[in-house]
Amino acid sequence: MISTMNTFFLILILLFLLLGFYFLLQHFSSPTKLESQTKQIVNQVFGELSQKLLQQTQQVLSQDKEAIYKDNLHQKEVISRLVQDLRQELKEHKHQLQSLEKDRIKQFAELSRSLQEHRQITSELKTSTAALANVLSNNQQRGQWGERIIEDILTSAGLIEHIHYEKQKTLGKTSIKPDITLILPDKKTVAVDVKFPYSEIQKVAVATTQSQKTEHLKRFKQDVKSKLNQLTKYILPQEGTVDYSIMFVPNEMLFSYINQQLPEIIDEAMAKKVMITSPFTFLIVARTVVEAHRNFQVETNLRNIIGYIDDFIEEWKRFSQEFDKFDLYLTKLRDNFDKLTTTRYKQMNLRIRRIQQYRQGDTLAAEND
């Protein structure tokens, strides 16, 4: 393109030079002849110039057309690739939207199912709560409920009835009968009471006024203190019990409430040697009982093993003494055997040779022997 423009400017310069030459000729020659020559030259020059300009223009237009075609073809390919990429992305987005829609439908179905299950659980929980409230309002049923919970704990801890604990068994020769009696090594026992007083604390939960809550909480404290006084009767060292008893609270939240809001009850229980436990803390106590039994058994086995070792040592001493006696006896027997095989044997041979010599008539040789 730049080369074509340079050629065009060169032709224009030549044209101006010819025009200048024409004016010079017109100035020095005759007008008619000079005019016809000039016209002829100008026509020839302009004809050739026009022809070259036309060729140059056609060539430039052809090159531009080809460049434009190639550029358009390249742009078409680029646009085609872009369209193809867009179609692929749209297809992928469509699949993603379909997958998201399926997940949304699935999650919605699961959410509906979960809501239905929660409704059912809530309904069952409401029924169970009502039944539990009915149980806790009755002292005998409350004791059975507490025994069931504590039995599950004892079983899960590996304790066996009649080996590690007893139910409803009197303490020694008395008529006192705790709910659970833990059996410790050396025939020691720990009394456990599971009938915790719930009634007033339930009323605190449903009370509508602050005065009612205060009154029921006061009665609850009195009930717990009364239960503590009752548990002190289970401490009978002369009947084989340890110097403390256990009050079982079958609810962790209530146990935490007593520890946090009623610390004076905990202090009074410690002063009266009553251990207040929840399901979790009683599990620790139960495992301690199992470990105590295991350690006691190990200790008993060790004592037996030590006794066996002592018996073995005594037997070894007796064996050593008898063995030494037998060794002495063997030594004497060996000495006697040596004498028998040496001196006695030689003397016996000598006598036999003499007898043989006498028998053969060689009296002189027999006497020399």
How is 317-334 classified by DSSP, letter by letter?
HHHHHHHHHHHHHHHHHH
Sole residue written with tokens 């009634």: 199
Pairwise CA distance, residues 243 & 270, whole Å = 12
Q: Across the beta sheet with 180-183, what order do the strands follow?
A: 165-167, 180-183, 189-193, 245-248, 274-277
Q: Mean pLDDT score of the chain, rounded to an integer?
A: 77
Please report, for residues 46, 250, 252, the alpha-carbon distance to residue 281 in angstroms, rounded to integers and kept in the order given: 120, 11, 9
Q: Same structural domain for residues 277 and 159?
A: yes
81 shares its domain with 146: no
Residue 340: inside a domain: yes
**In this structure, is residue 225 part of a structural domain?**
yes
Going by pLDDT thresholds of 50, 70 and 90, the confidence category of residue 125 is low
- Together in a domain, 71 and 190: no
Within a domain: residue 112?
A: no
pLDDT at 325: 82
Same domain, 157 and 214: yes
Q: 59-63, 175-179, 219-223: which range is least confident on average?
A: 59-63
b/e map 77-111, b = 16+ CB within 10 Å: eeeeeeeeeeeeeeeeeeeeeeeeeeeeeeeeeee
How many structural domains compose the chain?
2
Distance CA 32, CA 40 (A): 12
**Where does residue 299 fall: left (phi above 0), alpha (psi -120 to 50 degrees), or beta otherwise?**
alpha
Residue 128 pLDDT exceeds 80: no
Contact 288, 242 (CB under 8 A): no
Instruction: Check: CB of residue 170 under 8 Å from CB of residue 176.
Output: yes
Contact (Cβ atoms closer than 8 angstroms) between residue 192 and residue 180? yes
Residue 257 carries which DSSP code?
H
The answer on 311 and 180 residing in a single domain is yes
Owning domain of residue 363:
139-369
Highest-scoring range by mean pLDDT, 180-189, 228-237, 281-290, 294-303: 228-237
Cα–Cα distance list, 353 to 340, 360, 361, 364 (Å): 18, 10, 12, 13
User: What is the percent of the chain where pLDDT is above 70?
Assistant: 71
Q: Both 199 and 293 in a single domain?
A: yes
311 C-beta neighbours (distance < 10 Å), count: 10
Q: Which of 18-32, 267-281, 353-367 has the highest mean pLDDT?
A: 267-281
**Residue 111 is assigned to a structural domain of this protein:** no
Are 177 and 275 in a shared domain?
yes
Among 40, 74, 97, residue at a domain's last position: 97
